[in-house]
Structure 1
Amino acid sequence: MRFAVYGGISASLAVGVVVSAMYRRSNFYAACIYLSKSSACIMILLNMGLVISLLFGKLMQRIFFGELRAIERLLQHLYERSWYAVTETCLAMTMFREEFDLPFFILFTVLLFLKIFHWLCEDRVEFMDQSPSNQAAFHIRIINLMTILLIVDSLFASHAINTTMTNGANTMVMFGFEYTILICDILSTIGKYTLNVIDMRSDETWEEKSMWIFYVDLITDFFKMITYIIFFLYITFFYQLPLHIIRDVYVTCRSFIQKCRDLRRYRRAFRNMNELYPNATVEDLARTSDSTCIICREEMHAIDPTEIPEENRGARNQQIQDQPKKLPCGHIFHFHCLRSWLERQQSCPTW
């Protein structure tokens, strides 16, 4: 309702200044000159352009997302991300203040809209785990959206990089950097969507899915880190020290290094799981107050490896997955539960 009132007032003001300009000037060209010379008219027309952009964004949201979920309707996280993006751009403009003009404002508005759609697309793909029975319409929408976003990001990034290479350092280098980061994000989203689809089409639980998602995040962080470092060095060389992205460079590098450490610890822990963590016996389970695995909340039973013949490989593999393992601290968990936990953290789940 508030947006409708705001849009109506904006439209009335825009129509008013255009009609006034046509009335005061003898022809269309003179009216355009008059509008471009008046600061008040430019502000009113830019405000109307913003309203039209918001309406276009609402239309695209209806086409690709349909009805937003409750958490998306609140848009709290979108507001926080948007304000952070605006603040970061304002800080960046301290280096490009001589080049701040109408084309820059339009490019920044387009960039912000694309970022919002990237965030919504990422949220929808992550929501697939909680809603495995997604209809065909969902997949058609999300595939088309990811394809369009990837193409648009690539075109804008290519244009910005070519302009920078041709004309030298200017504001386009910042847009080239931003769209390169968006390309990394959308490729990560496409990778996670593919993994979710494979998991949904599988009849059995895909135990290694979380590890594949970890690899996708690791590769994404690596390319983001390279992009941040190149942009940081480029801006430092041609302009000045870009204080506004020091935090992003630090956070991205720390995230990548931490993931590398987690991967090394996981591989070291998983390499000798059978030897490092002995099978829990019936006596071990009897000594515990509760024989329920706290990770999957299912009952644990001690399994004798000799009970199942060697020829029955499927049953033996399932036996290995359900085998209770005893940690050095005395806690007991299913083998597959312990493995999935170690993919995320390298400590006892009860700590």
Structure 2
Amino acid sequence: MARLAVYGAISTILAGGVIASAFAQRSNFYAACIYLYRSNACMMIILNLGLFLTIIAGQLVQIIFFGNLRTLEVEHLYERAWYAVTETCLAMTIFKDEFDTLFVVMFTVLLFLKVFHWLCMDRVDSMEQSPEIPLSFHVRMVTMITMLVGLDILLVLHAVNMVTLKGPNMMIMFGFEYTLLATSLLASFGKYVLHTIDMRSEEPWENKSMLLFYLDLVADFVKLVTYLLFFSVILVCYGLPLHIIRDVYMTMRSFLQKCKDLVQYRKATRNMNERYPDASPAELAALSDPICIICREEMVGSQPHMAPASTAEAGGQGNANGAPAAQARPGPTRTSGTTTNVPKKLPCGHIFHFHCLKSWLERQQSCPTW
């Protein structure tokens, strides 16, 4: 903080000095502005002051909407910022003829907004690890995401308008960047809604993980289409865009992998109740520790149904332990014909709860012990 204060003081003094000198040497406001704009040294000093003011504005927004950042969030910011700067430097080789003050300003605004997109995504991802979330968190997240998506849409429309009026230029890159940011943030907002619904639900939401998977799948598809469109436009207008080949490849790989996982999941979960036999009490007793390693709860084997004659002979009396005859069998709970907590035995011999196994297969299509 002390170094930032020193940097700010020096930047302010230098900028004030060049501005005062320009107005002292020129007869009117217009002439002074022209001088400042045409002088590279003056523009560098003024842009440096603008960078300092941007940092101050960013810290104020952080304090208002995010508070203190976690160590993991800071690490992610450094990693992503370094990659974003490197990628933009490579993009400058394509738009080198258009590199000017406007490009620097647009890049600074883009990086400024990217930081808060990344923070929103990290905060949404951290919701699953938070036992309780205060109301202020929801207010901040909804407000911030709404503001960022609104800015993304406005900047995309501005980029489209500039390209329409002036033809292909650097605004193509910024338009696609804001499209990707809006897509990622809308996907994070969808996750936020699902996490919020799950937290307010008294029962575990078994379909939540699958909905999150479909959300990521749709987001990856939109990103892939955007990257391919951007790649095609740059290829036609400027030449081969080497700086986004990696992004196109990684996005396509992620999308194809998710499609493959979906097919394998559908195959693995088809007729699970019939494919995987129920574990008997004897098989559970043979285990050293009859605990489901997914949910860490004890597994109880299903007992055979009592014959109707035995029920009649019982005459409505309790069993040997004093429990009612209808409750004598601690079998699996069934809802609409689907097992929920019955232990299932895989071909490899490992045993897990039915719903735990299904939840696991949504993420990985292999035995949890492998």
| TM-score (ref. length: structure 1) | 0.94
CA–CA separation in structure 2 for the residues paired with 1:315 and 1:36: 75
For 1:59, give the aligned amino acid: L
Residue 223 in 1 paired to residue 222 in 2? yes
Consecutive aligned runs of 4 or more in structure 1 exceeding 6 Å deviation: none
Counterpart of 2:315 in structure 1 is: none
- For structure 2, which runs of at least 5 residues remain unmatched after alignment? 307-325
Residue 260 in 1 paired to residue 259 in 2? yes
For 1:324, give the aligned amino acid: P
CA–CA separation in structure 2 for the residues paired with 1:68 and 1:247: 30
Deviation sequence 1:132-170 (CA, Å, 0-9, x none): 421111111100111111111011111212322332211
CA–CA separation in structure 1 for the residues paired with 2:33 and 2:171: 28
CA–CA separation in structure 2 for the residues paired with 1:302 and 1:33: 84
Mapping of residues 25-40 of structure 1, within 5 Å: 25-40=26-41
For 2:51, give the aligned amino acid: L
For 2:334, give the aligned amino acid: R
For 2:60, give the aligned amino acid: L
Counterpart of 2:3 in structure 1 is: 2
For 1:21, give the aligned amino acid: A
Counterpart of 1:152 in structure 2 is: 151
Q: Is the 8 A contact 2:281 2:303 kept in 1?
A: no
Q: State the Cα distance separating 1:16 from its structure 2 match.
A: 1.8
Residue 285 in 1 paired to residue 303 in 2? no
CA–CA separation in structure 2 for the residues paired with 1:255 and 1:146: 25
Q: Secondary structure of the equivalent of 1:280?
A: coil
Counterpart of 1:323 in structure 2 is: 342
Counterpart of 2:139 in structure 1 is: 140
CA–CA separation in structure 1 for the residues paired with 2:348 and 2:53: 62
Counterpart of 2:99 in structure 1 is: 100
Counterpart of 1:20 in structure 2 is: 21
Q: State the Cα distance separating 1:68 from its structure 2 match.
A: 2.2
Residue 333 in 1 paired to residue 352 in 2? yes
Counterpart of 2:321 in structure 1 is: none
Q: Secondary structure of the equivalent of 1:298?
A: coil
Instruction: Kindly indicate which of the two structures has a greater share of residues assigned to helix.
Output: 1
For 1:295, give the aligned amino acid: I
Counterpart of 1:342 in structure 2 is: 361
CA–CA separation in structure 1 for the residues paired with 2:34 and 2:157: 34
Mapping of residues 79-118 of structure 1, within 5 Å: 79-118=78-117
For 1:317, give the aligned amino acid: T
Q: State the Cα distance separating 1:131 from its structure 2 match.
A: 1.4
CA–CA separation in structure 2 for the residues paired with 1:284 and 1:219: 42
Q: State the Cα distance separating 1:306 from its structure 2 match.
A: 4.0
Deviation sequence 1:59-78 (CA, Å, 0-9, x none): 11112112323433xx2221
Counterpart of 2:294 in structure 1 is: 295
RMSD: 1.8
- For structure 1, which runs of at least 5 residues remain unmatched after alignment? none
For 2:33, give the aligned amino acid: C
Q: Secondary structure of the equivalent of 1:128?
A: helix
Q: How many residues align?
A: 345
Which shows bigger deviation, 257-266 or 75-84?
Answer: 75-84
CA–CA separation in structure 2 for the residues paired with 1:196 and 1:90: 37
For 1:38, give the aligned amino acid: S
Q: State the Cα distance separating 1:87 from its structure 2 match.
A: 1.1
Q: Secondary structure of the equivalent of 2:115?
A: helix
CA–CA separation in structure 1 for the residues paired with 2:197 and 2:173: 37
Residue 35 to residue 168, structure 1, CA distance change in 2 (3 Å): closer
For 2:17, give the aligned amino acid: G
Q: Is the 8 A contact 2:273 2:339 kept in 1?
A: no
Deviation sequence 1:179-237 (CA, Å, 0-9, x none): 11011111101100110111011001111111111010000000000011111111111
Q: State the Cα distance separating 1:90 from its structure 2 match.
A: 1.3
Q: State the Cα distance separating 1:117 from its structure 2 match.
A: 0.5
Q: State the Cα distance separating 1:35 from its structure 2 match.
A: 2.1
Q: Secondary structure of the equivalent of 1:299?
A: coil
CA–CA separation in structure 2 for the residues paired with 1:110 and 1:179: 11
For 1:37, give the aligned amino acid: R
Q: Secondary structure of the equivalent of 1:304?
A: coil
For 2:99, give the aligned amino acid: F
Q: State the Cα distance separating 1:37 from its structure 2 match.
A: 2.9
Counterpart of 2:175 in structure 1 is: 176
Percent same amino acid at aligned positions? 60
Which is greater in Rg?
Answer: 2
For 2:145, give the aligned amino acid: M
CA–CA separation in structure 1 for the residues paired with 2:77 and 2:100: 26
Deviation sequence 1:12-34 (CA, Å, 0-9, x none): 11112222223333333333233
For 2:31, give the aligned amino acid: A
Q: State the Cα distance separating 1:283 from its structure 2 match.
A: 1.2
Q: State the Cα distance separating 1:315 from its structure 2 match.
A: 4.6
Q: Is the 8 A contact 2:333 2:341 kept in 1?
A: no
Residue 306 to residue 267, structure 1, CA distance change in 2 (3 Å): farther
Q: Secondary structure of the equivalent of 1:129?
A: helix
| TM-score (ref. length: structure 2) | 0.89
Q: Secondary structure of the equivalent of 2:340?
A: helix
CA–CA separation in structure 2 for the residues paired with 1:32 and 1:156: 27
Q: Is the 8 A contact 2:333 2:340 kept in 1?
A: no
CA–CA separation in structure 1 for the residues paired with 2:36 and 2:174: 29
Q: Is the 8 A contact 2:217 2:258 kept in 1?
A: yes
For 2:353, give the aligned amino acid: H
CA–CA separation in structure 1 for the residues paired with 2:225 and 2:305: 52
Q: Is the 8 A contact 2:333 2:342 kept in 1?
A: no
